Structure 1
């Protein structure tokens, strides 16, 4: 009798729970993505990983979404997080293994790339320059083809990898070395 009563209570709770219809289900318009190096999924000995959200241009200009001279989170939603699994260098600046947020300051034909020790940061609203770990200035390349979604991927180079960021016609290569 006790088992039957328990079963009845569980069944009532299940059927009384609010249901979620397909039209109620909200998908993030700027989904999270990840890139790692080495890229091969069979290689579990990663050196670096980046986690970011992929906004879309939707007819807007990159300069409106990432204004010149202002700190930008390099994507949408949360600030980009970079995890170094071993000590590396951002350009020539040594950076200890760990997880960092990454920001950019677009400045015309170059961007300042920043690694910062603050974590779990939404956007760049709470950016604190005092917590910067490394900065580097990289040139912006202009491509003929425009990319609608912001994206990042690693390109192998001698003694490391360049994190390539692409959106609209802008392309930047952020150098990480062993």
Structure 2
């Protein structure tokens, strides 16, 4: 039974979830500064997102499916914390007025545990590299797709937005 699950059911479930939460890749390049984020982008679909689908004060895999990954070639500063070069899994703890953003050395195969029915993340807290807290901004226009991208208006930010919520993390090289 376990063999059928891991070789038939699990790949089928992953394929089905990716139809509803497509994979996205975002790249930021400026001279030698190169950042990349890979994530799955779920849809709002008339659901209450933060505080309901994504509970407050609970670690979220930050998107859907596999964990979101963040890559930097060089040491950078995320807000006021130094992040060495490498690829990290990106986790968040959304709250009503602020989010905790966590960069973790471990990149698990899937963002949640199967045995928990998707309620528990696969994050190993012992592998956390940095954790920062950023304020929430309210959006006037609803974002239907969960989105991660970069804003550079003289100051660089990585942002995450969904529903009527946006958070921005300052990035410096």
Which TM-score bucket, shorter chain as reference? 0.7 to 0.9
Corresponding residue for 1:136? 132
Normalised by the length of structure 2, the TM-score is: 0.79
Are 1:90 and 2:78 matched, yes or no? yes
Structure 1: how far apart are the matches of 2:40 and 2:33? Answer: 21
Instruction: Give, in angstroms, the shift of residue 176 of structure 1.
Output: 1.7
Residue 48 (structure 2) aligned to one of 48, 61, 75: 61
The secondary structure found in structure 2 opposite 1:134 is strand
Q: Please tell me whether residue 150 in structure 1 is matched to residue 146 in structure 2.
A: yes
- Indicate the residue corresponding to 1:30 in structure 2: 21
5+ residue gaps, structure 2: 1-14, 113-120
Alignment partner, residue 7 of structure 1: none
Aligned residue pairs: how many? 149
Tell me, in whole angstroms, the C-alpha distance in 2 between the residues paired with 1:120 and 1:50. Answer: 16
Distance, in Å, in 1 between the alignment partners of 2:53 and 2:62 is 10
SS at match of 2:20: coil
The answer for unaligned runs of 5 or more in structure 1 is: 1-24
Q: What is the Cα-based RMSD across aligned positions, in Å?
A: 1.9
Residue-by-residue CA offset, 1:39-63 (whole Å, 9 max, x unaligned): 7xxx7x4521100000011111112
User: Any residues of structure 2 matched to 1:38-117 within 5 Å, and which?
Assistant: 38=29, 45-63=32-50, 64-117=52-105
Match of 1:174 among 165, 169, 172: 169
Conserved 8 A contact 2:37-2:69: yes
Higher Rg: 1
**What is the TM-score when the length of structure 1 is the normalising length?**
0.77
